Amino acid sequence: MYQSNISRIGTIGLIALSWVTALLGCSDTSISFSDQGSLSHSSGEGSFRFGAATAAVQIEDGLYHSDWHHWSKPQSEGGKGQGHDFVGEAVMGYTNAINDISLLTELGLDAYRFSVDWSRIEPLRDSINEDGMDHYSSFIDQLLTKNITPMVTVHHFSSPIWVDNFLNGTCTDTDVPTDENLCGWGHPTGSVAIIEEIAEFAAQLARKFGDRVDDWCTLNEPINYLIASYGAGQFPPGKQYLISDFDRLMTVYRNYLMAHVAIYNAIKANDTIDADGDGVAASVGLSLNSIEWVPVFENAASDRPKDIRARDRIWYLYHHFYPDSLLEGSFDSDLDMVPDEMHPEWTGKLDWLGIQYYSKNGVTASPAMLPGVDATLCVGELDMGACLPPEDETHWIPTMGYEYHEEGLFNVLMDIGTRYENLPLVLTESGLAANEGARRAEHIVRTLEQTELAMQEGIDIRGYYHWSLMDNFEWSEGYLPRFGLYEVDLQTYERTATQGATVYREITNTRSLTIQTRTNYGGTGPMTPDIE
């Protein structure tokens, strides 16, 4: 059993560690980064890749069979109409895919992480869109001619509408799933079919692209995604098991883990060609949504043992629950931090772990609204006493309702990296919503500084993918938050480099953070204010 590092270090330890990192992080030295290497082979230790990331639904046009299309479409047009922006044609990223490769080359990137949307390839159950497959095949070819290493994400927050068709009402457990509606990840028989289908989808991708793709990400931020889609209901299919049926939410967590294992096995079986010559045909991992959770009571930092315990449970749920399950072959069905089911067939089904870091958020034990973890979180606008005012106003991200805290990334990397010593880590996402390019530049430099500090402590981190290449559809928040290195004009779809892109280019050019760059953008002090 792994011991929780955060509990071992404790709050005071973390504060001390942050001080040490702040002192070490003085900007009078430059920092160099090595060349790109293997994502999961031991030869890749010490290597570093610079990349950017996107997800299909957030950028691509023409995804008319995705659940997000129907979820965000106005009710007057036959959609579910959730009151936020309609995804529409996103930022025309499918039509412009080949042209957009020039953005990656302009940035001098080694790697690009993107998702192939399941609904693009299988708009109707078991009917494969070969044109869609060919599109990605040419896209991958073009990336490779530019020496950009593709990483393919199999499931990034979206499914074909037939996986859980909320337009058709809700299935009961005795309803028999149909090709038009498999009834979702919580259904006793539907979920079995969904796992088979997603594994077959992954197998198709691996068969078609495996000769050129080695890096695969099965699932994106499982806990975050499942809480939003099946827990609290902000994402399709809008189920609220956190409120109505906690056991069912645990079933969904288990099923989604099983999907990871099935995808992992399907990719390993079908991608047997080592495209980059590192000795591994397929490096398969998943990405975690990491957050610097802090204990809070009545909107102030708390050292009450019950708040610290609540923070530890949430920390575990977000950072340890899935990787523990996959490394140990076990499942903790009541989230008490002790596994109670053994699944030897899951053991070791993780070659690397993706870390995605955006924010610091509060957790309180009073009130304790979340079943299983006896805690309440500060997320978005929902303030039940768990929210903290930002330490520094300039780190507040209004369009997302959270605070960016540089050292939180170091703390998360130290915790996860020491817990899973032999598992390579990579930042599969990190970014911020801003209209002011200087803020994005600051975020990039500070993220790399914190990452390098963790590397100095011996944590095996093999790269950084900035979120995101261009402005995009930010799920429930719609088109307001601007995460792009390239700003997108939502009328003309023109892409324009932000200052973030310019500075990232300078960094990739020299593979270093120079003293000047660090002085201009780095550290942990105030950030440039955003433009409204």
Closer residue to ligand BGC, CB minimum distance, 84 or 212: 84
Q: In a 10 Å sphere around its CB, with 0-12 CB exposed, 13-18 middle and 19+ buried, how is residue 491 labelled?
A: exposed
Closer residue to ligand BGC, CB minimum distance, 257 or 291: 291
Q: What are phi and psi of 382, to 5 degrees?
A: -75, 105
Give the contacts of 77 (CB within 8 A, at least 6 positions apart): none
Give the contacts of 104 (CB within 8 A, at least 6 positions apart): 52, 112, 143, 146, 148, 469
Closer residue to ligand BGC, CB minimum distance, 55 or 284: 55
Mark the segment that binds ligand BGC (CB under 6 A) among 219-227, 232-240, 298-306, 442-450: 219-227
Q: In angstroms, what is the minimal distance from the CB of 37 to ligand BGC?
A: 24
Closer residue to ligand BGC, CB minimum distance, 245 or 477: 477
Integer Cα distance of 324 and 347 in angstroms: 9
Q: Is 404 in the site for ligand BGC (CB under 6 A)?
A: no
Closer residue to ligand BGC, CB minimum distance, 229 or 289: 289
Integer Cα distance of 291 and 358 in angstroms: 7
Q: In angstroms, what is the minimal distance from the CB of 221 to ligand BGC?
A: 5
Q: Is 406 in the site for ligand BGC (CB under 6 A)?
A: no
CA angle 278, 280, 283 (to 5 degrees): 115
Q: In angstroms, what is the minimal distance from the CB of 233 to ligand BGC?
A: 17
Give the x/- contact pattern for ligand BGC in 269-298, rule: CB under 6 A.
Answer: --------------------x---------
Q: Is 218 in the site for ligand BGC (CB under 6 A)?
A: no
Closer residue to ligand BGC, CB minimum distance, 58 or 165: 58
Closer residue to ligand BGC, CB minimum distance, 48 or 473: 473
Closer residue to ligand BGC, CB minimum distance, 82 or 224: 224
Mark the segment that binds ligand BGC (CB under 6 A) among 17-25, 216-224, 328-336, 499-507: 216-224
Q: Is 331 in the site for ligand BGC (CB under 6 A)?
A: no
Integer Cα distance of 285 and 52 in angstroms: 17
Question: Which helix (H) or strand (E) covers residue 298, if one does?
Answer: none
Name the β-bridge partners of 107: none
Q: Can you read off the two tokens belonging to residue 438?
A: 């200087």
Closer residue to ligand BGC, CB minimum distance, 217 or 266: 217
Interacting residue with ligand BGC among 18, 27, 218, 356 (CB under 6 A)? 356
Q: Is 221 in the site for ligand BGC (CB under 6 A)?
A: yes
Q: Is 100 in the site for ligand BGC (CB under 6 A)?
A: no
The answer to whether the beta carbons of residues 51 and 110 sit under 8 Å apart is yes
Q: How many residues comprise the chain?
A: 532
Q: Can you read off the two tokens belonging to residue 172?
A: 């009961």
Helix-then-strand count for the chain, H and E:
16, 18
Q: In angstroms, what is the minimal distance from the CB of 432 to ligand BGC?
A: 9
Integer Cα distance of 489 and 296 in angstroms: 40
Mark the segment that binds ligand BGC (CB under 6 A) among 23-31, 220-228, 324-332, 376-384: 220-228
The answer to whether the beta carbons of residues 58 and 90 sit under 8 Å apart is yes
Integer Cα distance of 407 and 19 in angstroms: 9
The answer to whether the beta carbons of residues 111 and 465 sit under 8 Å apart is yes
Interacting residue with ligand BGC among 55, 257, 259, 513 (CB under 6 A)? 55
Q: Can you read off the two tokens belonging to residue 180?
A: 């038009």
Closer residue to ligand BGC, CB minimum distance, 331 or 475: 475
Footprint on residues 461-500 left by ligand BGC (CB under 6 A): 467, 474, 483
Q: Is 429 in the site for ligand BGC (CB under 6 A)?
A: yes
Q: What is the CA radius of gyration of the chain?
A: 22
- List of residues contacting ligand BGC (CB under 6 A): 55, 58, 157, 220-221, 224, 289, 356, 429, 467, 474, 483
